[in-house]
């Protein structure tokens, strides 16, 4: 019996190995956490609110990001969620027609969420490759797989090590 997807240790695993569903779920959880906190109030300094967002909201959004292989659509979702947080902190509605660059100038920040993921991946893969375990052999591709895919069209799927090679 095949299962489409299931949740394991807080992450959603799908039968096709993609992480789009996981990313959308993580963004939704981060938005709920953002709304629960006092990050939109002006009683706190803007710099402190940004630090709280990076500490509290991003940790929820990027849980398990070390294993994600990001497509352009996924990157767009992550960047838009980052901008959503910045706009909410400054109480700027999407109907106000304020450009993203102007919002970033107001919060005195740059887009950082996509730069955080490669850092986390590098730390995690370094940790894995130092150990002599099954996960290391799987990551390096040294285990023979039983599934053979033939006649598949399109670009080949990105792998974790492909992302790390691209980071250099």
- C-alpha torsion angle, residues 69, 155, 20, 98 (rounded to 10): 90
| Residue 168 neighbours by CB distance under 10 Å | 4
Q: Which long-range contacts (CB under 8 A, 24 or more apart) does 40-45 make?
A: 40/88, 40/89, 40/91
Is the pLDDT confidence value at 29 over 90?
yes
Confidence of residue 83 (pLDDT cuts 50, 70, 90): very high
The confidence score (pLDDT) of residue 32 equals 92
Residue 151 has pLDDT above 60, yes or no: no
Average pLDDT, the chain: 81
The pLDDT assigned to 137 comes to 66
- Mean of pLDDT values over 3-21: 81
Domain count, the chain: 1
The whole-number pLDDT of residue 89 equals 87
Q: Could you tell me the two tokens for 20?
A: 């789009």
Q: Which residue range is the domain that position 42 belongs to? A: 5-167
Residue 58 CB: number of other CB atoms within 10 A?
21
- Least confident range from 86-95, 104-113, 132-141: namely 132-141
Is 90 exceeded by the pLDDT of residue 80? yes
Query: 3-class DSSP state for residue 11?
Result: strand
Residue 142 scores a pLDDT above 80:
no
Element (H, E) at 14: strand 11-14
pTM for this entry: 0.75
**Residue count of the chain:** 168
pLDDT of 123 above 80: yes
pLDDT given at position 38: 73
Task: Give the pLDDT band (50/70/90) at residue 35.
Answer: confident
Rounded to whole angstroms, how far apart are CA atoms 100 and 102? Answer: 5
């Amino acid at each position: 019996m095949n299962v489409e997807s299931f949740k394991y240790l807080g992450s959603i695993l799908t039968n096709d190995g993609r992480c789009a569903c996981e990313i959308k779920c993580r963004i939704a959880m981060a938005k709920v956490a953002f709304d629960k906190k006092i990050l939109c109030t002006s009683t706190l300094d803007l710099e402190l609110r940004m630090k709280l967002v990076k500490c509290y909201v991003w940790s929820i959004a990027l849980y398990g990001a070390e294993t994600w292989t990001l497509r352009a659509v996924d990157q767009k979702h992550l960047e838009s969620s980052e901008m959503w947080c910045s706009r909410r902190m400054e109480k700027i509605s999407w109907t106000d027609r304020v450009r993203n660059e102007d919002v970033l100038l107001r919060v005195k920040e740059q887009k950082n969420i996509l730069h955080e993921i490669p850092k986390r991946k590098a730390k995690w893969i370094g940790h894995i490759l130092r150990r002599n375990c099954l996960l290391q052999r799987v990551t390096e591709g040294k285990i023979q797989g039983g599934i053979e895919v033939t006649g598949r069209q399109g670009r080949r799927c990105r792998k974790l090590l492909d992302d790390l090679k691209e980071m250099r």
